[in-house]
Amino acid sequence: MEINITIELIFAVVQAFLTAILGATLKDRAIPSRLIPIQNIVIGVISAIIAVYFNLYNNVPLAIFSCLVVSLGVGGAYDAVKTKKKG
């Protein structure tokens, strides 16, 4: 059980890092700002598929929920920091 939690945590950190990098590099360049949440949802769903495929999660709805929370949370946190710096 302890090893599985560590792997899930590492997976969440890697997913968050990937979401932040893609959001920062693609925003307003390749993808309009209004479509970034859709990009984050796609990253979350792909991450959930990868997590279930490699047996990080046994429960598919939990995998989808967890991965969506991470990817959308990172996108929201990035926007909040960016907005605070402008203001």
Query: Which pLDDT score, from 0 to 100, does residue 39 have?
Result: 83
pLDDT category of residue 8 using cuts at 50, 70 and 90:
confident
Task: Read off the pTM.
Answer: 0.74
> pLDDT at residue 1 above 60?
no
pLDDT of residue 4: 58
Distance between CA atoms of 71 and 87, rounded to whole angstroms? 25
Tell me the C-alpha distance between 81 and 83, whole Å: 5
SS3 of 27, please?
A: strand
Element (H, E) at 57: none
Domain boundaries, the chain: 2-82
Q: How far apart are CA 31 and CA 25, in angstroms?
A: 9
Is 75 a residue whose pLDDT tops 80? no
Confidence of residue 61 (pLDDT cuts 50, 70, 90): very high
Give the tokens for residue 77: 């946190």
What's residue 29's pLDDT?
A: 77
